[in-house]
Amino acid sequence: NLQSTTALSSGYSMPWLGLGVYKVQEGQEVIDSVKAAISHGYRSIDTAALYGNEEGVGQAVRESGVPREDLFITTKVWNSDQGYDSTLAAFEKSINKLGMDYVDLYLVHWPVMGKYKDTWKALEKLQKDGKVRSIGVSNFQVHHLEDLMKDAQVKPAVNQVELHPLLSQIELREYCKSQGIQVEAWAPLAQGHLLDNEVLADIGAKYGKSIAQIILRWDIQSGIVTIPKSVKEHRIIENADIFDFELMPADMEQINGLNQNHRFGGDPDNVN
Protein backbone atom coordinates (compact mmCIF):
# COMPACT_ATOMS: atom_id res chain seq x y z
CA ASN A 1 0.00 0.00 0.00
CA LEU A 2 0.91 3.66 0.10
CA GLN A 3 2.88 3.16 3.27
CA SER A 4 5.05 0.37 1.90
CA THR A 5 8.71 1.24 1.88
CA THR A 6 12.11 0.29 0.52
CA ALA A 7 15.07 -0.17 2.87
CA LEU A 8 17.87 2.32 2.18
CA SER A 9 21.58 1.70 2.79
CA SER A 10 21.39 4.34 5.54
CA GLY A 11 19.25 1.99 7.62
CA TYR A 12 16.13 4.10 7.14
CA SER A 13 13.24 3.24 4.88
CA MET A 14 11.58 5.29 2.18
CA PRO A 15 8.04 5.06 0.78
CA TRP A 16 7.80 3.70 -2.77
CA LEU A 17 5.42 6.50 -3.74
CA GLY A 18 5.51 10.17 -2.86
CA LEU A 19 4.24 13.53 -4.04
CA GLY A 20 6.48 15.78 -6.16
CA VAL A 21 6.00 19.53 -5.80
CA TYR A 22 8.13 21.00 -8.61
CA LYS A 23 6.44 24.12 -10.02
CA VAL A 24 3.79 24.04 -7.31
CA GLN A 25 3.33 27.58 -6.02
CA GLU A 26 4.52 28.56 -2.55
CA GLY A 27 1.60 29.38 -0.27
CA GLN A 28 -1.91 28.03 -0.62
CA GLU A 29 -1.30 25.84 -3.66
CA VAL A 30 1.51 23.81 -2.13
CA ILE A 31 -0.16 23.73 1.30
CA ASP A 32 -3.39 22.38 -0.22
CA SER A 33 -1.71 19.74 -2.39
CA VAL A 34 0.58 18.43 0.35
CA LYS A 35 -2.29 18.29 2.85
CA ALA A 36 -4.52 16.53 0.30
CA ALA A 37 -1.79 13.99 -0.40
CA ILE A 38 -1.14 13.27 3.28
CA SER A 39 -4.86 12.99 4.00
CA HIS A 40 -5.10 10.36 1.22
CA GLY A 41 -2.25 8.34 2.69
CA TYR A 42 0.92 9.74 1.08
CA ARG A 43 3.82 9.81 3.53
CA SER A 44 6.61 11.13 1.27
CA ILE A 45 7.02 14.65 -0.16
CA ASP A 46 9.74 15.69 -2.61
CA THR A 47 10.73 19.36 -2.62
CA ALA A 48 13.94 21.33 -3.26
CA ALA A 49 15.38 24.72 -2.39
CA LEU A 50 14.96 25.56 -6.09
CA TYR A 51 11.20 25.00 -5.98
CA GLY A 52 10.73 27.90 -3.58
CA ASN A 53 7.98 26.15 -1.66
CA GLU A 54 9.70 24.65 1.40
CA GLU A 55 7.80 26.94 3.79
CA GLY A 56 4.46 25.74 2.48
CA VAL A 57 5.57 22.11 2.62
CA GLY A 58 6.57 22.59 6.26
CA GLN A 59 3.29 24.30 7.12
CA ALA A 60 1.26 21.56 5.42
CA VAL A 61 3.18 18.90 7.35
CA ARG A 62 2.48 20.65 10.66
CA GLU A 63 -1.20 21.06 9.81
CA SER A 64 -1.60 17.51 8.47
CA GLY A 65 -2.16 15.91 11.84
CA VAL A 66 0.31 13.16 10.94
CA PRO A 67 3.34 13.00 13.24
CA ARG A 68 6.54 14.30 11.68
CA GLU A 69 8.33 10.98 12.25
CA ASP A 70 5.73 9.17 10.14
CA LEU A 71 6.55 11.36 7.13
CA PHE A 72 9.49 11.26 4.73
CA ILE A 73 10.62 14.70 3.60
CA THR A 74 13.18 15.19 0.82
CA THR A 75 14.84 18.45 -0.14
CA LYS A 76 17.88 19.29 -2.27
CA VAL A 77 20.83 21.66 -2.44
CA TRP A 78 20.69 23.85 -5.53
CA ASN A 79 23.60 24.15 -7.99
CA SER A 80 24.61 27.71 -7.09
CA ASP A 81 25.01 26.65 -3.43
CA GLN A 82 27.35 23.75 -4.12
CA GLY A 83 30.67 23.60 -2.27
CA TYR A 84 31.29 22.65 1.38
CA ASP A 85 30.48 25.80 3.39
CA SER A 86 27.81 27.03 1.00
CA THR A 87 26.00 23.69 1.18
CA LEU A 88 25.98 23.79 4.99
CA ALA A 89 24.55 27.33 4.80
CA ALA A 90 21.97 26.32 2.19
CA PHE A 91 20.87 23.41 4.37
CA GLU A 92 20.29 25.77 7.32
CA LYS A 93 18.08 27.92 5.09
CA SER A 94 16.10 24.91 3.89
CA ILE A 95 15.54 23.45 7.35
CA ASN A 96 14.49 26.85 8.70
CA LYS A 97 11.99 27.28 5.88
CA LEU A 98 10.66 23.77 6.44
CA GLY A 99 10.52 24.46 10.17
CA MET A 100 11.87 20.97 10.91
CA ASP A 101 14.61 19.49 13.13
CA TYR A 102 15.76 17.11 10.42
CA VAL A 103 15.03 16.07 6.87
CA ASP A 104 14.73 12.45 5.84
CA LEU A 105 16.67 12.77 2.61
CA TYR A 106 18.97 15.53 1.38
CA LEU A 107 20.06 15.34 -2.25
CA VAL A 108 22.74 16.96 -4.39
CA HIS A 109 20.35 18.31 -7.04
CA TRP A 110 22.72 18.08 -10.05
CA PRO A 111 26.35 16.94 -10.51
CA VAL A 112 28.06 20.33 -10.73
CA MET A 113 31.55 19.56 -12.03
CA GLY A 114 34.39 20.41 -9.71
CA LYS A 115 32.02 20.97 -6.80
CA TYR A 116 29.92 17.93 -6.11
CA LYS A 117 32.60 16.19 -4.05
CA ASP A 118 32.85 19.11 -1.62
CA THR A 119 29.07 19.27 -1.56
CA TRP A 120 29.01 15.58 -0.70
CA LYS A 121 31.40 16.12 2.23
CA ALA A 122 28.93 18.65 3.62
CA LEU A 123 26.11 16.11 3.27
CA GLU A 124 28.20 13.51 5.12
CA LYS A 125 28.71 16.05 7.92
CA LEU A 126 24.98 16.86 8.09
CA GLN A 127 24.19 13.17 8.34
CA LYS A 128 26.82 12.66 11.05
CA ASP A 129 25.31 15.58 12.99
CA GLY A 130 21.86 13.98 12.82
CA LYS A 131 20.31 16.76 10.76
CA VAL A 132 19.70 14.50 7.79
CA ARG A 133 18.79 10.81 8.02
CA SER A 134 19.80 9.72 4.53
CA ILE A 135 21.93 11.45 1.92
CA GLY A 136 21.82 11.00 -1.81
CA VAL A 137 22.26 12.49 -5.22
CA SER A 138 20.15 13.45 -8.21
CA ASN A 139 20.88 13.40 -11.93
CA PHE A 140 24.10 11.44 -11.44
CA GLN A 141 25.26 9.21 -14.29
CA VAL A 142 27.32 6.09 -13.67
CA HIS A 143 30.60 7.98 -14.17
CA HIS A 144 29.55 10.66 -11.66
CA LEU A 145 28.72 7.99 -9.08
CA GLU A 146 32.00 6.17 -9.65
CA ASP A 147 33.92 9.42 -9.30
CA LEU A 148 32.02 10.46 -6.16
CA MET A 149 32.47 7.10 -4.46
CA LYS A 150 36.25 7.16 -4.98
CA ASP A 151 36.48 9.70 -2.16
CA ALA A 152 33.20 9.31 -0.30
CA GLN A 153 32.90 7.91 3.20
CA VAL A 154 29.18 7.28 2.79
CA LYS A 155 27.63 5.89 -0.39
CA PRO A 156 24.60 7.74 -1.73
CA ALA A 157 21.44 6.05 -0.46
CA VAL A 158 19.39 7.29 -3.43
CA ASN A 159 19.90 8.56 -6.97
CA GLN A 160 16.88 10.54 -8.20
CA VAL A 161 16.90 10.76 -12.00
CA GLU A 162 14.59 11.48 -14.91
CA LEU A 163 12.99 8.09 -15.57
CA HIS A 164 9.85 7.08 -17.45
CA PRO A 165 8.98 4.59 -20.20
CA LEU A 166 10.71 6.74 -22.85
CA LEU A 167 13.89 6.95 -20.71
CA SER A 168 14.09 3.73 -18.77
CA GLN A 169 17.73 4.19 -17.66
CA ILE A 170 18.50 0.47 -17.76
CA GLU A 171 22.29 0.72 -17.39
CA LEU A 172 22.12 3.25 -14.59
CA ARG A 173 19.53 1.12 -12.78
CA GLU A 174 21.72 -1.97 -13.01
CA TYR A 175 24.74 -0.08 -11.75
CA CYS A 176 22.79 1.43 -8.84
CA LYS A 177 21.40 -1.96 -7.93
CA SER A 178 24.90 -3.42 -7.81
CA GLN A 179 25.94 -0.58 -5.46
CA GLY A 180 22.90 -0.70 -3.17
CA ILE A 181 21.73 2.72 -4.37
CA GLN A 182 17.94 3.11 -4.57
CA VAL A 183 16.80 4.65 -7.87
CA GLU A 184 14.02 7.21 -7.71
CA ALA A 185 12.14 8.47 -10.79
CA TRP A 186 11.54 12.14 -11.42
CA ALA A 187 9.07 13.10 -14.13
CA PRO A 188 7.68 9.55 -13.89
CA LEU A 189 4.76 10.67 -16.07
CA ALA A 190 7.17 12.30 -18.55
CA GLN A 191 5.61 15.60 -17.45
CA GLY A 192 2.39 14.63 -19.23
CA HIS A 193 3.94 13.58 -22.56
CA LEU A 194 2.88 9.93 -22.32
CA LEU A 195 -0.75 10.37 -21.44
CA ASP A 196 -1.94 9.63 -24.99
CA ASN A 197 0.39 6.68 -25.59
CA GLU A 198 -1.58 3.86 -27.26
CA VAL A 199 0.46 0.96 -25.89
CA LEU A 200 -0.06 2.25 -22.36
CA ALA A 201 -3.74 2.97 -23.02
CA ASP A 202 -4.28 -0.61 -24.24
CA ILE A 203 -2.56 -2.04 -21.17
CA GLY A 204 -4.59 0.28 -18.96
CA ALA A 205 -7.83 -0.92 -20.53
CA LYS A 206 -6.98 -4.51 -19.58
CA TYR A 207 -6.62 -3.64 -15.91
CA GLY A 208 -9.20 -0.86 -15.72
CA LYS A 209 -6.43 1.63 -14.88
CA SER A 210 -5.33 4.96 -16.33
CA ILE A 211 -2.08 5.49 -18.21
CA ALA A 212 -0.67 7.34 -15.20
CA GLN A 213 -1.50 4.39 -12.96
CA ILE A 214 0.08 1.90 -15.39
CA ILE A 215 3.32 3.88 -15.48
CA LEU A 216 3.50 4.31 -11.71
CA ARG A 217 2.80 0.61 -11.19
CA TRP A 218 5.58 -0.21 -13.69
CA ASP A 219 7.93 1.94 -11.58
CA ILE A 220 7.15 0.13 -8.37
CA GLN A 221 7.27 -3.35 -9.92
CA SER A 222 10.66 -2.36 -11.36
CA GLY A 223 11.98 -1.46 -7.91
CA ILE A 224 11.92 2.28 -8.60
CA VAL A 225 10.70 4.88 -6.09
CA THR A 226 8.31 7.29 -7.82
CA ILE A 227 7.10 10.83 -7.07
CA PRO A 228 4.38 11.98 -9.49
CA LYS A 229 3.33 15.60 -9.22
CA SER A 230 -0.23 16.84 -9.25
CA VAL A 231 -2.03 19.70 -7.55
CA LYS A 232 -5.46 18.23 -8.35
CA GLU A 233 -6.93 16.18 -5.54
CA HIS A 234 -8.60 13.62 -7.83
CA ARG A 235 -5.27 12.97 -9.57
CA ILE A 236 -3.40 12.81 -6.29
CA ILE A 237 -5.84 10.04 -5.32
CA GLU A 238 -5.64 8.37 -8.75
CA ASN A 239 -1.83 8.31 -8.73
CA ALA A 240 -1.78 6.45 -5.43
CA ASP A 241 -4.42 3.91 -6.42
CA ILE A 242 -1.88 1.44 -7.79
CA PHE A 243 -1.52 -1.08 -5.00
CA ASP A 244 -4.50 -3.29 -5.89
CA PHE A 245 -3.22 -4.81 -9.13
CA GLU A 246 -0.12 -6.30 -10.65
CA LEU A 247 1.17 -5.92 -14.20
CA MET A 248 1.84 -9.26 -15.86
CA PRO A 249 5.40 -9.94 -17.12
CA ALA A 250 4.36 -9.55 -20.77
CA ASP A 251 2.94 -6.10 -20.03
CA MET A 252 6.07 -5.10 -18.10
CA GLU A 253 8.10 -6.16 -21.17
CA GLN A 254 5.91 -4.16 -23.50
CA ILE A 255 6.43 -1.04 -21.38
CA ASN A 256 10.18 -1.74 -21.22
CA GLY A 257 10.08 -1.80 -25.02
CA LEU A 258 8.93 1.84 -25.21
CA ASN A 259 12.37 3.16 -24.24
CA GLN A 260 13.87 5.72 -26.63
CA ASN A 261 16.52 7.18 -24.29
CA HIS A 262 14.57 10.41 -24.65
CA ARG A 263 15.06 13.19 -22.10
CA PHE A 264 12.57 15.97 -21.55
CA GLY A 265 14.73 17.53 -18.82
CA GLY A 266 18.33 18.68 -18.62
CA ASP A 267 21.44 16.73 -19.58
CA PRO A 268 23.43 15.64 -16.50
CA ASP A 269 26.66 15.91 -18.51
CA ASN A 270 26.01 19.55 -19.26
CA VAL A 271 25.10 21.22 -15.97
CA ASN A 272 25.54 24.96 -15.71
Residue in 212, 221, 225, 227 with CA at minimum distance from that of residue 251: 221
- The DSSP-derived string for 128-188 is HTTSEEEEEEES--HHHHHHHHHH-SS--SEEEEE-BTTB--HHHHHHHHHHTPEEEEEST
- CA dist., res. 206 & res. 89, Å (int): 51
Minimum distance, C-beta of residue 51 to ligand NAD, in the bound complex (Å): 7
Minimum distance, C-beta of residue 157 to ligand NAD, in the bound complex (Å): 15
Nearer to ligand NAD by C-beta: 23 or 128? 23
CB contact at 8 A, 173 and 202: no
Should residue 230 be labelled a site residue for ligand NAD when binding is judged by CB under 6 A? Answer: yes
Should residue 207 be labelled a site residue for ligand NAD when binding is judged by CB under 6 A? Answer: no
Should residue 235 be labelled a site residue for ligand NAD when binding is judged by CB under 6 A? Answer: yes
Verify whether residue 207 is a known catalytic residue: no
- Within residues 113-172, the interface with ligand NAD by CB under 6 A covers 138-139, 160
Should residue 187 be labelled a site residue for ligand NAD when binding is judged by CB under 6 A? Answer: yes
- CA dist., res. 154 & res. 176, Å (int): 15
The residue annotated as part of the active site, out of 12, 22, 42, 51, is 51
Minimum distance, C-beta of residue 226 to ligand NAD, in the bound complex (Å): 8
Should residue 189 be labelled a site residue for ligand NAD when binding is judged by CB under 6 A? Answer: yes
Minimum distance, C-beta of residue 164 to ligand NAD, in the bound complex (Å): 7
Residue 53 dihedral angles phi and psi, to the nearest 5°: -130, 25
Residue 62 dihedral angles phi and psi, to the nearest 5°: -65, -35
Considering only the stretches 3-11, 88-96, 114-122, 186-194, report the one whose residues sit in contact with ligand NAD under the rule CB under 6 A: 186-194
Residues that bind ligand NAD (CB under 6 A): 20-22, 46, 109, 138-139, 160, 186-192, 195, 210, 212, 227-230, 235, 238-239, 265
